Amino acid sequence: MNEKEKQQMENLEEQTNILFKIGNKLEQRISTLEKVLESHAKCIGEMRVKELSELTPDEFAKQVRFK
């Protein structure tokens, strides 16, 4: 392997490492966002149940639409 080919291989390895680091950071951020979304969905669901439980039966029937 000549010097130019060695330099190209080193550059390729460096770029590959950079891409792996970016991929890992994105994976961590997606995981965090999934946890936050799950938590928010749970809170919204609990708020919705509490809100519906405070309604009269007629108000409840208007809020809940069965398809």
- The position carrying tokens 């291989």 is 9
**Average of per-residue pLDDT values in the chain:** 87
At 31-62, the pLDDT tens digits run 999 999 998 888 787 777 777 778 788 877 77
pTM of the model: 0.60
DSSP H helical ranges for the chain: 3-53, 57-63
Q: Please give the Cα distance from 19 to 29 (Å, whole number).
A: 15
